[in-house]
């Protein structure tokens, strides 16, 4: 039953994404995870605690999140299957749909591209700030394009491939546990103070959850881009994350550009290594990256359809 659910959820996400009107009225399920994380962080991330105690509080926060995500997913799935039986897959797909981000990721990145094509640096920086964590106020047009390409590559894993992977493997509990972990990592899984110890568990668990999806994402991006294997193998470990370097290196190789490099966070310059060869990514590279992303998403559809047919 997992494959029809996944295909239907992919179709829903591709067709409508998560519409603004719906977000305004009911928010998004991930917002609940964010609220829990913020509440726990305010109460438990006390810098006067020892490092070990901060880590323990971070573990406790993560356990609470996993209980909420996994428990809610199990209850909803159990109730739908109990009531609908063999016809439960449309409702299960509806419950899984918000966990995917094919369309919303594309829409966010294409806004950056349109601003770059219009040479509107202010709009480009503003659009990029919605999808990247780095400082965007001082980025030039190529810097904005590079940030958008990197975000597109990494988020192909975090927002599409990984949720789909866990949905297929463990159903609704799996996909919503993954979203809880990924949300925690994005909010507190940082090596900088004040999250270095409190966010340790979130960061390490996210590394584990993305271990296979990141590598699968990289393979799909190289296939979609029709090249990039050499750069993928050579440069995947040049990223601070054990997983993010895989899709980024694949995208850099597929495009024939350099990603990474020096980046500013909260006014502090991080001298990151370059990933890939050739010129730095520009608006033309971003346009090609969007096409590769669409093809990689289509490959995911084909993979899931193939598994469905084989079963």
Residue 1 pLDDT greater than 60, yes or no: no
Q: Rounded to an integer, what distance in angstroms lies between the CA atom of residue 52 and that of residue 221?
A: 40
Q: Rounded to an integer, what distance in angstroms lies between the CA atom of residue 69 and that of residue 73?
A: 6
Residue 59 · residue 184 · CB < 8 Å = no
Q: Rounded to an integer, what distance in angstroms lies between the CA atom of residue 11 and that of residue 25?
A: 22
**Helix, strand, coil percent values for the chain (each to nearest 5):** 75, 5, 20
**How many percent of the chain have pLDDT more than 90?**
79
Residue 267 pLDDT greater than 80, yes or no: no
pLDDT digits (tens, 9 = 90+) for 197-250: 999 999 999 999 999 999 999 999 999 999 999 999 999 999 989 999 999 999
The verdict on whether omega for the bond into residue 194 sits within 30 degrees of 0, i.e. cis, is yes
Residue 311 pLDDT greater than 70, yes or no: no
pLDDT digits (tens, 9 = 90+) for 56-85: 999 999 999 999 999 999 999 999 999 998
Q: Rounded to an integer, what distance in angstroms lies between the CA atom of residue 201 and that of residue 270?
A: 23
pLDDT digits (tens, 9 = 90+) for 88-130: 999 999 999 999 999 999 999 999 999 999 999 999 999 999 9
Q: Rounded to an integer, what distance in angstroms lies between the CA atom of residue 205 and that of residue 226?
A: 32
């Amino acid at each position: 039953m997992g494959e029809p659910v996944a295909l239907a959820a992919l179709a829903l996400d591709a067709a409508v994404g998560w519409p603004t009107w719906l977000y305004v009225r009911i928010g998004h399920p991930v917002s609940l995870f964010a609220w829990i994380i913020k509440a726990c962080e305010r109460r438990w991330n006390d810098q006067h605690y020892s490092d070990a105690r901060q880590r323990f509080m971070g573990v406790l926060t993560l356990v609470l999140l996993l209980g909420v995500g996994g428990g809610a997913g199990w209850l909803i799935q159990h109730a739908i299957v109990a009531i609908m039986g063999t016809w439960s897959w449309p409702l299960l797909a509806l419950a899984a749909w918000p966990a995917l981000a094919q369309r919303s990721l594309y829409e966010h990145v294409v806004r950056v591209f349109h601003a770059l094509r219009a040479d509107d640096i202010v709009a480009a920086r503003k659009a990029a700030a919605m999808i990247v964590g780095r400082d965007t106020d001082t980025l030039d047009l190529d810097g904005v394009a590079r940030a958008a390409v990197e975000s597109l590559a990494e988020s192909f894993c975090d927002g599409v491939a990984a949720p789909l992977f866990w949905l297929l493997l463990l159903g609704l509990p799996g996909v919503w546990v993954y979203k809880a972990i990924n949300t925690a990592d994005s909010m507190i899984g940082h090596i900088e103070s004040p999250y270095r110890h409190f966010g340790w568990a979130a960061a390490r668990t996210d590394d584990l959850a993305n271990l296979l999806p990141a590598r699968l994402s990289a393979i799909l991006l190289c296939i979609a881009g029709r090249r990039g294997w050499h750069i993928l193998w050579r440069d995947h470990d040049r990223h601070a994350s054990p997983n993010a370097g895989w899709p980024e290196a694949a995208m850099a190789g597929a495009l024939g550009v350099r990603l990474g490099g020096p980046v500013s966070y909260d006014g502090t310059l991080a001298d990151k290594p370059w990933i890939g060869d050739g010129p730095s990514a520009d608006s033309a590279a971003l346009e090609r990256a969007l096409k590769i992303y669409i093809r990689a998403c289509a490959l995911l559809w084909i993979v899931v359809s193939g598994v469905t047919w084989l079963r």
